Structure 1
């Protein structure tokens, strides 16, 4: 008859159970904060894109009420409507668990046009918002397409880019008709 000492057998069983339990919990462990981490480029895109889209949308809404020029108003209405849809599509593309900035437009941009009126409003809105700020937005979306790592975000940027390019081209044409600076070509 073979005799086994009970203490070493129980110790081996306890060690085995500890290894199995540790391995199982390591496979199911989630970040304690509940947030999913993205590559830095993707997170930067989310921050820049949500700010850019909401800034363009809110500035366009200001333009629809402050401008007296029908062309500027028509352009602003299109931008406001398109950017409201872009904001929804962008939020839908952001992976669950990723920290998403609140609807946080760039207040400095909005304040630059908020208290202006007439021709001064139109000039500032076209040059500083429709051209310069839209160009920054385009750069953020192009950077995501080129160097982003999240496929959903890259697809959302690709899908949004033609609309943003259309806005920029329309703004350039509007600036040309109003004899203003057309921004970079």
Structure 2
């Protein structure tokens, strides 16, 4: 049997324990770092134009969508109902695209229509409803929506949001052109 001095055994044991502790520490701290980076706890700061677009763009789209849903039940005119159904479906897709394009950590309003605008048409029916819907929502509301999306394309800094605005713009322009045509057929002043 080999006899070693106690100091040598203590030194070797201490060194082994330190090496083992270092290895365990290295294994436990490395996976924790990526987990921290994956958590969406950071607040993303957007340029003012991008934040305005998120607020105004989502509100304009939600207002158009909800007003179109009201129109499908309150209007008596087939052309108005058909226009409203198309707008409701298109604007649902646009809203989803805006939420998808928004950076992580940015709160995007999910359902924030302009309630005053909706209240202004909510109790109307028939021809009175059609006139108010076409003038206030289809024409006036589409102009607001166009303005919000064009402003993002011109002044926005977030490329994902600008791209979403670019992709949605032809749909919004087509909605506005349809609204103008509808207004002409109903002998209303097109804007």
Instruction: Flag whether TM exceeds 0.5 (same fold).
Output: yes
The Cα offsets for residues 125-149 of structure 1, whole Å up to 9 and x where unpaired, read as 0000000011011001000000100
Which consecutive residues of structure 1, in runs of 5 or more, have no partner in the other structure?
Answer: 1-27
Aligned to 1:76: 84
User: Deviation of residue 33 (structure 1)?
Assistant: 6.4
Q: 8 Å contact 2:63–2:114 — kept in the other structure?
A: yes
SS state of the match for residue 109, structure 2? Answer: coil
Larger-Rg structure: 2
| Match 2:69 to one of 47, 52, 61 | 61
Which consecutive residues of structure 2, in runs of 5 or more, have no partner in the other structure?
Answer: 1-35
Stretches of 4+ aligned residues off by more than 2 angstroms: none
Aligned to 1:122: 130
Q: 8 Å contact 1:35–1:99 — kept in the other structure?
A: no
Q: How many residues align?
A: 156
| Match 2:49 to one of 32, 41, 47 | 41
Instruction: Check if 1:154 corresponds to 2:162.
Output: yes
Distance 1:106 1:169 in 2: 22
TM-score for the superposition, normalised by structure 1: 0.81
The Cα offsets for residues 63-96 of structure 1, whole Å up to 9 and x where unpaired, read as 0000010000000000000001111011100010
